[in-house]
A and B are shown apart, each in its own frame.
Chain A
Amino acid sequence: QVQLQESGPGLVKPSETLSLMCTVSAYSISNDYYWGWIRQSPAKGLEWIGSLDHRGNYYYNPSLKGRVTISADMSKNQFSLKMTSVTAADTALYYCARIGGHFGPWGQGALVTVSS
């Protein structure tokens, strides 16, 4: 079945850039669906960060736009998240997920802590 796995550093310094990768198995991200990043913190609950579609179009949460870039490597079946100028408020569990009407499946999540 389709599986997603997040990877990346668990600790990022304030003002630096957060980088995460989502590797998808058992389905080609270039075939169909949207593919997205979501984060979860105690303060904000689940927050949609941004998505890409199978045609390579990108969509971002307006509240984060300007700091977030999502990109995809279709040949490796991966998509990535970069978030610049991070602060402690960006400390969260970051998920990637497939979106087809609803979110799912989800990755297991990657905890990112912003701290010096």
Chain B
Amino acid sequence: NFILTQPHSVSGSPGKTVTISCTRSSGGIDDNYVQWYQQRPGSSPTILIYEDDQRASGVPDRFSGSIDSSSNSASLSISGLKTEDEADYYCQSYEASNPTWVFGGGTKLTVL
């Protein structure tokens, strides 16, 4: 099975843009779709981005997802940072051959 590696933390100022990476250890990042979840303290995770770059219902267009085959990674970008964006963010993908689901280790976003 592969591993998804995320930075432990990122930070940014209100109004700025941050990007969170998610690197797949083996196999191609485009082998299976990548999803992104937001988790605020005390709450269950909620879907932000599915199928690499599709925003879930109700998610502002400040959030965008992409994949880059050259670096074998996915990215979540958040523009126009707001204090309410402070949360943990997780990437997730799937291994179809023997169905298994993999989460990244999570990234804590601090809005300074």
Q: Which residues of A contact B (CB under 8 A)?
A: 34, 36, 38, 44-48, 51, 59, 61-62, 95, 99, 101-104, 106-109
77-105 of chain B: CB within 8 A of chain A: 90, 92, 98-105
Check B106 against A101 for contact (C-beta < 8 Å): no
> What is the total of A-B residue contacts with beta carbons within 8 Å?
53
B47 contacts the other chain (Cβ, under 8 Å)?
Answer: yes
Given contacts A62-B1, A109-B44, contact A46 B100 (CB under 8 A): no
Check B46 against A104 for contact (C-beta < 8 Å): yes
Check B92 against A103 for contact (C-beta < 8 Å): yes
Check A48 against B100 for contact (C-beta < 8 Å): yes
Check A107 against B44 for contact (C-beta < 8 Å): yes
Check A59 against B105 for contact (C-beta < 8 Å): no
Q: Among B35, B100, B105, point to the contact of A103 (Cβ < 8 A).
A: B35
> Chain A binding site: helix, strand, loop or mixed by DSSP?
strand
Check B51 against A101 for contact (C-beta < 8 Å): yes
Q: Among B35, B45, B56, B101, point to the contact of A48 (Cβ < 8 A).
A: B101
A95: chain B residues at CB < 8 Å are: 44
Check B33 against A103 for contact (C-beta < 8 Å): no
Told that A48-B101, A95-B44, A106-B44 touch, could you supply 7 new A-B pairs with CB distance under 8 A? A36-B101, A45-B106, A48-B100, A99-B101, A101-B33, A103-B45, A106-B46
